[in-house]
Chain A
């Protein structure tokens, strides 16, 4: 049994006066303790919606189907009531831009201690002491808890946001673009911190980002999302060296590398709208090697190697030959 098991997750949004949007279309993945898993794709592919669903934090106009099991218990079974027991205690999240969401008029230490009281973990002096320990854990001196967010640098604020997420000792940490607004050197510091937390505390990490090199350096496994689906998943090494979906290959080709010699090519077109059912493969219109059957037949995610899955009709051609 895995620590986290997501199977057949669907999310629909019902915007007022517009057609229903099928933002997440049957996403499944599993995670063991201490594992670092990347979720990558362009904006609008459903990565953030997926992890918000795991936290039970989707807006009221969203409906969710599928299962999210933590240690075998379906946390979505009873709606908000059942999620609440797991949120922050088992699964916690560092939101995109969290470093800019700290309350500017409250001391950082107070902001870390506050949710502990709410979740009955610690009160008063004990909570403040624990806040200090958490700050130390993320590489900030405990005494800095007496300072205000504006006295912190961007990197320190992001560390404080991570400390907050760790307040209730979660087993799973979801990090949404945790380094996007940061400089390379600070990005390296934060990635080193996240990797260390997963190694030393056995924290399972889900890293959501559009930055493939970041995933390549931090995660052992990753899933590439496109139009609300996982189109390829597997060891990051396989995704780079032997991609089995054209989208994965093209995403890497569109990313410049420091020492890369090959031309950097953009992917033509834009992702499809998700407010109507798409016949065939969702990537067909932008694919550089489409087949005739891609127009009418939706490719399913199939095993193409050990722990490696892809949803592309071309893989069946390879198997047949």
Chain B
């Protein structure tokens, strides 16, 4: 739990005078490895078992009313982190405290009532909604699963409320429509309403707008922003889009090969990046203004294979500023010397 130990003083500084209440979500040194399948010959030959280090020691906290963005390239482990928190994948080690209860240690039956408190919004509303379900059925189904609402009329009332909170008003117009009769933005709002009916404390949103048209993205993001501000909900948004994260999240955590390499208030991470990987990522984000054509710092190749994680700092083979000791020493998250916020952390030996 070394990562957590280091996070302690910085996090305490950031929280300041507020009472030491239990955070909504506290993930500590989470590791999720997948076994690499071996064929018969490999087993007979006793080739060593290999593991995909999808999530390799991730720690963070999320408070109510807060939106945190987990950003990184595909294969960095951001989706596996969300799936592990959700209980779809069992972690190899580490803890996931949801309102103080370690959900990583719970069995399927004990987990079930808790599932109400954490809900997921998927990337593609064209696939996450059943095409044969009317909006009414999509939103009422989670209530039936969790035994919410005493009668059909009661459930309808709750569904209408959730749809209107999700920005589909008047909701009665939408209740009997099928997904194919809705636009992409409307579908994603139905998916959000289906999560809202359970009154969750934590929403995990996996690339919630990347499949939507530019013109409606802002609307869905603003909705998520309103929900966490008014609804006292925490939102963990997984995205590869740094511009969206910068605009909507309070905090940004940048992941690389299963680890958080930089973490801090969104404006600090974007305007005062410390880790060389964050700097490179930010430099290649296209800007809206054609006059701002900065020289992008393009890293060669792609994220290495998470089966054979490089020694020392896992970013050193692609790092433009790596020195010799980066090959042997594995950097932990710490407050960089050039940080302007006490909550800013980077895992680099040179900061």
Contact = CB atoms under 8 A, between A and B. Distances in A.
Interface stretch (B7-15, B110-118, B132-140, B214-222): B214-222
B288 A266 contact: no
Given A183-B73, A186-B302, A256-B247, A216 B286 contact: yes
B289 A184 contact: no
Given A213-B285, A252-B288, 5 more contacts: A43-B213, A183-B73, A184-B240, A258-B282, A264-B222
- Of A155, A214, A265, A270, most buried by chain B (CB within 10 Å of CB) is A270
A95 to B, nearest CB: 19
A214 B290 CA distance: 9
Contact of A259 (B73, B270, B291): B270
Interface residues of B, number: 40
B265 to A, nearest CB: 15
Nearest to A182: B74
B298 A189 contact: yes
Contacts of A217: 286-287, 290, 293
Interface string B281-309: 11011111111010010110010000000
A258 B246 contact: yes
A259 B271 CA distance: 8
B244 interface: yes
A185 B284 contact: yes
B215 A188 contact: no
Contacts of A123: none
Contacts of B286: 191, 211, 213-214, 216-217
B35 to A, nearest CB: 21
A264 B290 CA distance: 19
B280 interface: yes
A258 B243 contact: yes
B218 A240 contact: no
A185 B293 contact: no
Contact of A192 (B287, B291, B298): B298
A49 interface: no
A182 to B, nearest CB: 9
Nearest to B294: A217
Contacts of B213: 42-43, 210
Nearest to A253: B218
B183 interface: yes
B347 interface: no
Contact of B288 (A43, A210, A216, A270): A216
A207 to B, nearest CB: 12
B215 A254 contact: yes
Contacts of A43: 213
Contacts of B85: none
B242 interface: yes
A266 B215 CA distance: 5
Interface string A230-255: 00000011001100000000111011
B145 to A, nearest CB: 32
Given A264-B218, A265-B218, A266-B217, A258 B270 contact: yes
A188 B288 contact: no
Contacts of A187: 284
A15 interface: no
Interface in A158-192: 183-189, 191-192
Interface of B: 73-74, 183, 185, 213-222, 240-244, 246-248, 270-271, 280-282, 284-291, 293, 296, 298-299, 302
A184 B290 contact: no
Nearest to A239: B290
B243 A256 contact: yes
Q: Is the interface of A mostly helix, strand, loop or mixed?
A: helix
Nearest to A192: B298
A92 interface: no
22 contacts: A42-B215, A43-B213, A153-B302, A154-B302, A184-B240, A184-B241, A184-B285, A185-B284, A185-B302, A188-B296, A213-B243, A240-B290, A250-B215, A256-B243, A256-B244, A256-B246, A257-B288, A258-B246, A258-B287, A259-B246, A267-B216, A270-B183
Interface residues of A, number: 40
Contacts of B74: 154, 183
Contacts of B299: 185
Contacts of A191: 286
Contacts of B220: 266
Please name the 7 residue pairs, one residue from A and one from B, whose CB atoms are nearest each other, closest first: A266-B219, A213-B286, A188-B284, A266-B218, A267-B215, A183-B73, A256-B247
A212 B288 contact: yes
A308 to B, nearest CB: 14
A184 B281 contact: yes
A260 interface: yes
Given A184-B285, A266-B219, A254 B270 contact: no
A193 to B, nearest CB: 10
Contacts of B285: 184, 213, 258
A185 B280 contact: yes
B36 to A, nearest CB: 16
A185 B281 contact: yes
Contacts of A257: 243, 247, 287-289
Contacts of A266: 185, 215-220, 222
A216 B290 contact: yes
A184 B244 CA distance: 13
Contacts of B241: 184, 256
A212 B218 CA distance: 14
